Structure 1
Amino acid sequence: MSTPQDLLIVALDAEGTRPVRSGELSLALAGAELLDLSKSRAVHLDGDRMVPGDLTAPTDRLLKEAVASLVVAEPFESVGDWLWRRGRDLTATYMAAFEAEGLVQKQGIRHFRGGHTALVDSIPRRRAAERWFSGEPVLRTLAEGLGITGEPTGEFQEIADDAAETVLAAVNGALQELEAERQRRSIEEAAYDNVWRSPE
């Protein structure tokens, strides 16, 4: 399994301080993809620019799609731009892949609206849980940025990879930017509502 797949499993499985929203998760999944592409040397970072490397390296289908969408001409794409572009609706893409692979199933009464998608017991789910509870730092940092918490059973591990630190910092920045934009829109909508409610 890839880091984005593990992250999605953790997001579906773990309890957090707040529900994980698809927009935030999509940004984090795009970051997770980039971390895997960097690890496989399909991409290397020059500052915050993504320079294509061995584009044949990924074997995972969705990571191959990610590689196919890379900007291969100078000045190349920044990590931040990648997160916003690749992250658009990425949660839905991964959920569709999980459904196709039988890793999730719909729960709830068929005749009524609602219900939810739940993970089935599977080897990928167990592997993701093992990685999560071992305290693996990249996965935990991505998950904690989404408000997912939990006590690792393994020892704390530091991130010693400059590229990983760059990507994780960019994901954190994008998540903060998204939240700030949501708050700005909420304030504007509240102000608009107040105008219509005020007496003449």
Structure 2
Amino acid sequence: MTTAKDLFIVTMDPRLEHAVGQGDLSLALAGAELIDLSAAGTITVDGDRIVPGGPPAPDDRLLGEAAALLTRQPPYERIEDWLWRRGRDLADVYRTALEEDHELTRKRSGRLSLGSERLELVDTPSRRRATDRWEEKEPVLAHLASVVGIDSAGSDDEAGLDDEAVATVVAAVHDAVMELEAVRQRRTIENAAFANLWRGP
């Protein structure tokens, strides 16, 4: 398992008060992949740039896909640009992968077979590992979860993040999620103004 998969599993907890936005989660998953690639030595973080090199990605299909997408010619890609490029619909990619690996199952709510479908986590070693990391408040997972609105632990500082590369990536994810929220708010205002225009005085 990887940090990204652990994060996805944490966001599937039915006890969460609010659903995590798919755009926010996709950005955080892209950041989690960078953190795992850095830990494996597949990349290094130089300022705000991702420099590939070193050993190949760990034996994980999605992490391997991420590594294959790295920009390998200078000037190397900025972390922020990677988050938006790799993060596009990434939550759906992870959802599909976990379903294919039988770690997520579809169930219908209510007594009737026509009830709405919902995804539920299967009790697997991967789920237990992610739960253990979460309950232990492992700093990387806790900070990424906080960025997408889970738990009250702040992500504004990098407390507990001893690795400079990890702290840099987490900060970039936080900034990207804030930017996405600003776009949402701007669209809401524009849509409301458009609706008022059609209603007339």
- 2:150 and 2:198 mapped to 1: Cα distance? 39
Which of 109, 119, 122 is the aligned partner of 1:120?
122
CA shift for structure 1 position 113: 6.3
**Aligned-pair RMSD on alpha carbons?**
1.7
CA deviations over 1:169-189 (Å, ceiling 9, x no partner): 000000000000000000000
Structure 1 residues not aligned, in runs of 5+? 152-156
For 2:40, the equivalent position in structure 1 comes to: 40
- 1:17 and 1:163 mapped to 2: Cα distance? 31
For 1:173, the equivalent position in structure 2 comes to: 175
CA shift for structure 1 position 114: 2.8
The aligned amino acid for 2:186 is R
For 1:164, the equivalent position in structure 2 comes to: 166
Q: Please, which moves more after superposition, 8-17 or 178-187?
A: 8-17
Q: Tell me the TM-score normalized by structure 1.
A: 0.92
Between the two proteins, the alignment pairs up a number of residues equal to: 194
The question of whether the paired residues in 1 share the 8 Å contact of 2:108 and 2:118 is answered with yes
Between the two proteins, what is the percent identity of the paired residues? Answer: 49
For 1:53, the equivalent position in structure 2 comes to: 53
- 1:83 and 1:125 mapped to 2: Cα distance? 25
CA shift for structure 1 position 19: 1.3
Say whether residues 1:132 and 2:134 are aligned partners: yes
For 1:154, the equivalent position in structure 2 comes to: none
Structure with more contact order per residue of length (Cα contacts < 8 Å, sep ≥ 6): 1
Structure 2 residues not aligned, in runs of 5+? 154-158
For 2:23, the equivalent position in structure 1 comes to: 23
The 1:102–1:189 alpha-carbon spacing in structure 2 relative to 1, beyond 3 Å, is same
The 3-state SS of whatever aligns with 2:12 is helix
CA shift for structure 1 position 160: 0.6
The question of whether the paired residues in 2 share the 8 Å contact of 1:10 and 1:132 is answered with yes
CA shift for structure 1 position 111: 5.1
CA deviations over 1:13-41 (Å, ceiling 9, x no partner): 16445210111110000000000001001
Q: Tell me the TM-score normalized by structure 2.
A: 0.92
- 2:28 and 2:198 mapped to 1: Cα distance? 38
The question of whether the paired residues in 2 share the 8 Å contact of 1:15 and 1:149 is answered with no
The question of whether the paired residues in 1 share the 8 Å contact of 2:57 and 2:67 is answered with no
CA shift for structure 1 position 54: 2.0
Say whether residues 1:67 and 2:67 are aligned partners: yes
The 1:118–1:95 alpha-carbon spacing in structure 2 relative to 1, beyond 3 Å, is same
CA deviations over 1:56-82 (Å, ceiling 9, x no partner): 142111100000000000001000000
